[in-house]
Amino acid sequence: MSPNASTDKQPPRSGQALETDISILASILSKSTASSDAEDIDVAELLSQLETANGIAEGVESRLDGILQHLDGMLHSLESNPKDAASTLTKDIASTAKPSAPPNDSDAPA
């Protein structure tokens, strides 16, 4: 199996990396479709491409599973105790929002 076809759990990656994986997968699939018409198909190369595509697809699937599990956990916490969840959400929003400082009269020109 090629190094790109690793089935180990991969850490979550950014959306850009996900888009890159999908474009690589699409490229591999289009190459295999175009080369299937040729009479002298290199079976070893085709197998390598399929293994790489499988590894990428499994990585994408794993990341999507992680996202869905995270969303399930969030929904469960909201359903189990809506009052506490709303309070926590409000605190999270308040802690991330940086209020603008009121104008300082001492900075105004005299």
**Which range scores top for mean pLDDT: 20-29, 44-53, 83-92, 96-105?**
44-53
H and E: helices and strands count for the chain: 3, 0
Residue 34 belongs to what domain range? 9-94
Higher pLDDT, 86 or 1: 86
Q: Is the pTM of this model over 0.75?
A: no
Higher pLDDT, 17 or 33: 17
Question: How many structural domains is the chain composed of?
Answer: 1
Q: Is 19 a member of any domain?
A: yes
Structure tokens at 37: 């018409």
Q: Is 67 a member of any domain?
A: yes
pLDDT at site 5:
41
23 φ, ψ (degrees, to nearest 5): -70, -35
